[in-house]
Chains A and B, each alone.
Chain A
Amino acid sequence: MVSRSFKHLSLVVGLLSCATAFAQSAKYSGVGRAPSATEIKDWDISVGPSGKELPPGSGTAKQGAPIYAAKCAGCHGVDLMDGKGGPRLRGGEGTLTSLRIERSIGSYWGFATTVWDFINRDMPPTPVRGTLTHEEVYALTAFILSKNNIIKEDEVMDAKSLPRVKMPNREGYVPFNPVYKKDAVRPHGSY
């Protein structure tokens, strides 16, 4: 018995040292390089729900109104509702149980940071996407949230206040926090 245990032990030790050796040799020398801090900063445009990547700057609905009129109203309409090519940005409350739902920022979007991130990376589509200044993005986000009666007209949106905005439909997602479990059996209708 003793010798058998020893045998097992030595096998385990052998495997462990193999694994260590493999881990070391799995580095591929001379392939790829470290990016500079500037490269990472320039590429990393994503803003998550914590808002920790939000840049300095701020804006209010009042500051956003003229920017919206100049750069957004053409597609989304002066009242954010007539959608000439762009989707409606407000309205649709109470439609989510109907046969024709309206998913606007006010009726549906669960996170204010998503509004900031999307405007920053994608709007306006012409002449080139993603060309607004951070100040403009804060001001436009504030303007849209205000028109949806989610914040007040003079409320300042910045890296601290924006992630704290409570969106009306945040409780409307199931499950509340997304989960993934490999190999889980998901009954039809509850994917």
Chain B
Amino acid sequence: MDEKKRGRRKFIKDSLVNTVALAGVAAGAVTTARGQGQDAVGMAPERRNAFTGRSAPSKFVKMARTMPPETPGYTPLQDMVGVITPNELHFMNTHYNLPEIDPAAHRLMIHGLVDKPMIWTMDELKRLPAVTRVHFLECNDNSAASLKGGKTAQGHGRTSCAEWTGVLLSTLLSEVGVQRGASWILAEGDDSGKHSKSIPLEKAMDDTIIAYGQNGEPLRPENGFPLRMVIPGFSGVHNIKWVRRIKLVDEPYMTKAEVASYSSVRPDGKARWFMMEMPPKSVITRPSGGQTLSGPGFHEIIGLAWSGRGAIRKVEVSADNGATWQPAALQGPVQRMAHTRFRLPWTWDGKATTLLSRCEDERGQTQPTLAELSKAWGVPADWWKQTRNPINLFNAIQPWRINADGSIENGFAFI
């Protein structure tokens, strides 16, 4: 194509674009007052088509929660890189249905041992002073499934971490005026079974959030839209989703979740109940179970550590099955009752080994080995494999076995 033809084509193209743009203006298309706006009609299609109202992940990214036939709803920790769990990947579980609640119709009532019972609409709750805080939520039985020897998400994915926005429950409680004699609250959700749970008043007054925001947007339906409780460090079952009612009471109310489903029977037949705070825990997420190392050489070890009793103070990693330990770097800011990312440079020599991590929280409690946990529970080492009973608050050090071919297996499969 010679210069002349190219110039003529460019002139025709420019004229067309200008004509379309002018036609747009004439037809009243949107331009900004200062004339700086970009009229979509004036955009070339390839550019216009790049815009979406709400984006989806790249077609090359295959991250998803576990789904049947696996136990569904676990977060794919092994594929994640930061500390925040994207909302569509936040672990989910429900005792009943997935309610579809119109926020315009939703109400929160606080009553019981109070001076002045009150009801708020969602709009009213959003008018009150709010906080935004980062906290993990973890199911009471998380990590017990790892004893079956599975991959990372299937073993540990019932924990997630998000930035929650809402009103402190203490703000609402000061509005209603808590009466002398109140010592617990009973919180209830608006799912079909009206799931309810007793929570100590001390915790309710401390840092409990009545949350409507999750990572900058409204809660997702499976995480309690339009309103849920976030009780930092307390196991998932306490964090009532779709919360509709809080009653101030003078004793724990012994709901089914407390008396039956969420209690844990010791080997001596006695039941531990009201297990509230999640213990310190860490898991190496890369390299981890189900992944494969592409070859010897440099691989940064990364993982997550968290505790229901405050901030993570220290994480140590062993690349030789516990013979030696090195302190891992903690990714700041290290936040209380939040996932904390840890990192350690590592060069793999191509030989079989086992990776371990252990953490310590602000109360000085250290994550136990399985042998230490067995001793604390008063059970023989093989009990964990033999029992068919629910295991709660399991936080033993997770071994990842690296084979010489780079494949990675769950060390619990070999105990």
Contacts and interface: CB of A to CB of B under 8 A. Distances in A.
Nearest to B271: A173
For the residues of A in contact with B, the DSSP-based class is: loop
Contact of B193 (A28, A33, A121): A121
Interface string A35-64: 100011001111111100000000000000
A31 interface: yes
Interface in A107-162: 108-111, 113-114, 117-118, 121-122, 125, 129-130
Classify chain A's interface size. 35 or more
B277 A191 contact: yes
B52 interface: no
Contacts of A33: 118-119
Interface stretch (A10-18, A75-83, A92-100): A92-100
B127 A108 contact: no
Contacts, number: 163
Contacts of A35: 109, 111, 117-119
A100 B265 CA distance: 11
Interface residues of B, number: 70
Contacts of A49: 251, 253-254
A188 B378 CA distance: 11
Interface stretch (A1-9, A66-74, A174-182): A174-182
A99 to B, nearest CB: 5
B270 A174 contact: yes
A39 B253 contact: no
Given A40-B111, A186-B277, 11 more contacts: A31-B127, A101-B265, A101-B389, A114-B260, A117-B253, A130-B194, A174-B271, A178-B252, A180-B274, A182-B202, A188-B373
Interface of A: 26-28, 31-35, 39-40, 43-50, 96-97, 99-101, 103, 108-111, 113-114, 117-118, 121-122, 125, 129-130, 169, 172-174, 178-180, 182-183, 185-191
Interface of B: 96, 109, 111, 116-120, 124, 127-128, 171, 174-175, 186, 188, 192-194, 196, 198, 200, 202-203, 206, 244-245, 247, 249, 251-256, 258-260, 263, 265-277, 279, 309, 363-365, 368, 372-373, 376-378, 383, 386-389, 393, 395
